[in-house]
Every structure is written in structure tokens, then in C-alpha cells.
Amino acid sequence: MRANATVARNLRRLRLLKGVSQENLAMDAGIDRTYVSRLEREMENPTVAVLETLAVALEIGIGEFFETVDPDAPPPAQLPRGRRKAR
């Protein structure tokens, strides 16, 4: 699996593990929600600085984005669809 595919899969896995929506992660990291979505679909080639911002927002180590992923593992379950209600 190419490195950007590994990053994509791990970003999604870790984000869902933390129970965070793409929208809230984007807000916490100060980046655009569509960029988070594109990262998880392997459509971006992020820099170390972007990965660091995401790792800080998820409270994980940046190295976790590069952990080996079983390509045959089922994709992680989704969070409930739809935007969160405004708080």
C-alpha cells in the first residue's frame, strides 16, 4: 500500500476511533473539511506540517499515520451521517 493510502486509511481509522466527525476535525485543525475528506480518499499528498496539525487535533503521535494497515481489513464503521446540530 502506498504511503498516502496508508495515511488515508489511518486518518479515517483514528478519527473514527476518537469519535470525531470530518467537520469537527477540520475545525479543530484549522483546515477545510473538504481537505480532510480528500485526504481520506487518497486525493491529497499532505505535508509533514499538515499531518502534525491533524495529529495534534486528534491527540495522537504523527507516526500513527504510517502504521501498517491490512489492505483487506474492512473499512472502519462510519459515524452517524449528517452535520452536528449547532451548539
Least spacing, CB of residue 51 vs a second copy, in Å: 7
Q: How many whole angstroms separate alpha carbon 45 and alpha carbon 5?
A: 10
Least spacing, CB of residue 4 vs a second copy, in Å: 5
Give the angle 14-17-20 at the CA atoms, nearest 5°: 85
* Contact residues for a second copy, defined by CB under 8 A: 2-4, 7, 45-49, 51-52, 55, 61-63, 66-67
Closest to a second copy by CB, 61 or 76: 61
Least spacing, CB of residue 86 vs a second copy, in Å: 33
Look at the block and give the residue holding cell 452517524.
80
Look at the block and give the residue holding cell 488515508.
8
Give the angle 49-5-73 at the CA atoms, nearest 5°: 130
Closest to a second copy by CB, 21 or 25: 25
